[in-house]
């Protein structure tokens, strides 16, 4: 009998090279919290629930793929550092905000797909 097809049989890292930036949002540090009785607050999945703190630890980039097999699809790429080369205000001023990511790889395979990267590189400086 042949092996069953599974997620590892697909290359989810091959989603294209050029992306259109749609939005940048902060990624906050998370922590577990306890209730009034000192018990860890659990989520619906019966694991400790994570709450955002006020500390920013990176940024999430909502992007649309401009090339590759998933052209015109969108995803979110998280970068865990504080180097943010563009803001939402700057994205809105541009006719196009194209970028590439360094070391792009899936961080959550499912529906939807999420990605992480080591860095981001802006490709143009077109201002409206």
Domain boundaries, the chain: 13-28+57-122
13-28+57-122 — its CATH code? 2.40.50
Question: pLDDT tens digits, residue range 8-58?
Answer: 777 777 889 999 999 999 999 999 999 999 999 999 999 999 999 999 999
pLDDT tens for 50-102 read 999 999 999 999 999 999 888 999 999 999 999 999 999 999 999 999 999 99
Q: What are phi and psi of 99, to 5 degrees?
A: -150, 170
- List 31's β-bridge partners, or say none: 51
Which has more confidence, 7 or 28? 28
* Cα-based distances in Å from 100 to 61, 80, 114, 121: 11, 16, 16, 5
């Amino acid at each position: 009998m042949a092996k069953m097809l599974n997620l590892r049989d697909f290359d989810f890292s091959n989603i294209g090279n050029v992306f259109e930036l749609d939005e940048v949002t902060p990624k906050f540090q998370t922590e577990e919290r306890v209730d009034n009785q000192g018990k860890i607050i659990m989520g619906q999945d019966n694991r400790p629930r994570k709450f955002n703190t006020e500390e920013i630890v990176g940024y999430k980039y909502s992007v649309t793929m401009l090339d590759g097999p998933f052209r015109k699809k969108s995803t979110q790429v998280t970068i865990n550092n504080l180097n943010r080369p563009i803001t939402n205000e700057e994205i809105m001023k541009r006719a196009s905000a194209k970028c590439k990511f360094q070391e792009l790889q899936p961080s959550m395979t499912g529906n939807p797909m999420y990605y992480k990267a080591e860095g981001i590189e802006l490709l143009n400086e077109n201002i409206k």
